[in-house]
Amino acid sequence: MLAKGVILFAIVGWLATVGLQVQASSGEPQCETQGSDEVTISCSYSATAKAPRENSTPLVVLNHAVISFKLSSESHMHVELTFTNDSDTKIAEKRTIYIAFDDAKGENHMRRPLPHVDFTKLEPGKPVTFEERLLAPAFERGIYSISLWIPSNDAALKFDRAHNFLLSDEGVPDTESGLNRIAKFTATPSSRRPKTSSVPD
């Protein structure tokens, strides 16, 4: 009986451990991609637990993102981002926020500012959805990552990753690159990319 009790206790302990591991990974971005050429990527995110802060850096949470675009040719990309100000006060500093697409080698494929996304419009605790429509290039076959780049307003610090603004989401802020990694997708366009003289900026 004692041996059976020990075995049962060990199994229960193992199940508890597995349950904790599943809960820990549940905070990662949850994304769904629909379409083969005209693609829509929808992602939901979880906020990190609030922690005492030694400075006045605001906390901003990305709740949801929807990005629609075409792979095989230039297209008008639709971006819809929902944020919540998780701080106790309004945000005073307005920063330019960029959406960034990088290929599997980490090379820049697209950078576009999102002029309508303005954190100073966020009231504490109230989610706000911003929408953008912008021109996007075609995408060659391959794996891409999508990020939000929020650099410093100081021109001398714009490309210093240590001064980039990072969101307060599980699995989103990347301190090494200074980018907020919001999604990944694999491009499998139905037709070859048309030749064009333009290059990604």
Which tokens hold the place of 41? 């990527």
Please indicate, yes or no, whether the overall pTM of this predicted structure exceeds 0.75: yes
The CA R_g of the chain, rounded to the nearest whole Å, is 20
In tens digits, what is the pLDDT along the chain, a chain of 201 residues? Answer: 444 443 333 333 333 333 323 333 356 789 999 998 899 999 999 998 765 555 567 999 999 999 999 999 999 999 999 999 999 999 999 999 999 999 999 999 999 999 999 999 999 999 999 999 999 999 999 999 999 999 999 999 999 999 999 999 999 999 999 999 999 999 987 644 444 434 444
| HSE (side-chain half, CA atoms, 13 Å) at 2 | 0
- CA dist., res. 52 & res. 127, Å (int): 22
Q: Can you name the residues that pair with 146 across neighbouring β-strands?
A: 101, 183
Which tokens hold the place of 8? 């049962």
Give me the domains of the chain, ranges plus CATH numbers.
24-187 (2.60.40.10)
